[in-house]
Amino acid sequence: MTVKTSSEPLLAVTDADRPQVDYLKALLRYAEEQRSHVRSEVTGWLQELRQRSAYHAAQQRLPSRRDEDWRFTDLSALLALELQPARAMPLDLGAIAPWILPESQGCRLVVVNGRVDMLLSDLSALPAGVQVGSLADLPLELNSAAIEYVAARVGDREVFAALNAAGFPDIATIWAEPDAQIETPIHLLCLTAPTVPSFNQPRALIVAERGASLTVVEQFTGAVVACPDADTPHPYLLNSVTDCVVQENARLRHIRYQREAGNALHVGRTGVSQARASTYSGYALSLGAQLSRHNWEVEQGGEQTESQLYGLTAIRGSQTADTHSTMRLAYPYGDVDQLHKCIVDERAHAVFNGKVLVPQAAQMTNAAQLNRNLLLSDKARVNTKPELQITADNVKCTHGATVSQIEADELFYLQSRGIAADQARNLLLDAFAAEILEQVPIASLRGQLTQCIACRTDVQTAPTT
């Protein structure tokens, strides 16, 4: 199989970029070490994918604040870390107990340090019509199609996506067969268990074939590992890529829940490919990590396609959370609705950059994009940039952004009704987040998030059960 690449020149590198170049080279070496742990045989397509991706990454550098898409996000904390490749790590069921979702009992796939762990997974109640496991475990007829979906991303020259493709150790796969109506949500739990400062690269493929309906909860968190040589858990870099394929008349509900350790760095990319008359409902929930970045890319590949993106970021302390989304419409009668909310406290910093691209071919499009931000302290910051790029002339498109604080009059009103100041503040936070949380289709997760937001509990630790 031939992997297509572009002849477009790669990013020019200068001497001023040397620290970012050298660090990227080290990450590429770690990626190469992770390759040997892949569960499937090293076939020709995988070798070519990794070689091309490594080539793209090697001629670049890590992004800096001089790059437009990264000008509000400082990666200097990453450059200060001396990382090692994340190794296979055996865990017991107690390590994942706080994260088990009751709605997904018997439908849980666990990934530890980038590798599918079938001992921690529980697929005993998996309904008919869906295949869940490692890419190597797929039936032969599905494996070849999965290879095409994964290899289609080899031309992606974004440096972190290329880095992931150059050295992912395994691919967690969730595959709904044609017309399968999967009512039980599938829980994909991605754990990083660092015994040393680690570099972890999980990868996932989610496919809803023609006419199928599927709900997936993709969760990222750090596992508690005893480290006798460290007073606190080791820091780590997680660089994830998830490809979602929604075929004709299919529906995918995809909840992405990031609650990493407080000293973690999280970079993630979600790529969504939709066919005609399909529906993708995405929910991006970001509460953890010292620094997190999520690139959300949605491509509508047919008429009458619906894309719904809901996002909620809640950060405090010195956390940074950066969300970049791109929605590309290429056919008539497309529908896009995006609402992203940020709650920013103390010295935290939130970034939102959303793009909706509506070319001439995308007539009769209906697109709406809105970013709302709530700052809870004088030192909290947010940078927001919603964008519409429209060349079609028969569309209905809107976008906007708001930045506000809790109104003193609202607090006074609640206090005048006998509600304590702290409780009144929490009620207003709950009301702000409710518009997003009410859309989350998993009741236990919705309740967990509601408690976390309204009570202002520590968002960087595991939930109580």
User: What pLDDT does 455 receive?
Assistant: 56
φ/ψ of residue 93, rounded to 5? -65, -25
User: What pLDDT does 29 receive?
Assistant: 85
Please write the tens of the pLDDT for every residue from 91-138. Answer: 888 888 889 999 999 999 999 999 999 999 999 999 999 999 998 887
Measured distance CA(111)–CA(206) in Å, rounded: 14
Q: Quick count: other Cβ atoms within 10 Å of Cβ 297?
A: 18
CB 351, CB 72: distance < 8 Å = yes
Measured distance CA(171)–CA(51) in Å, rounded: 17
Of 383, 379, 313, 382, the residue nearest 346 (C-alpha): 379
User: What pLDDT does 36 receive?
Assistant: 58
User: What pLDDT does 2 receive?
Assistant: 42
Q: Which residues of the chain have pLDDT under 70?
A: 1-17, 36-44, 152-156, 224-232, 454-465
* β-strands 203-208, 186-192 pairing: unpaired
User: What pLDDT does 127 receive?
Assistant: 95
pTM of the model as a whole: 0.91
User: What pLDDT does 339 receive?
Assistant: 96
CB 308, CB 278: distance < 8 Å = no
Q: What three-state secondary structure class fits 275?
A: coil
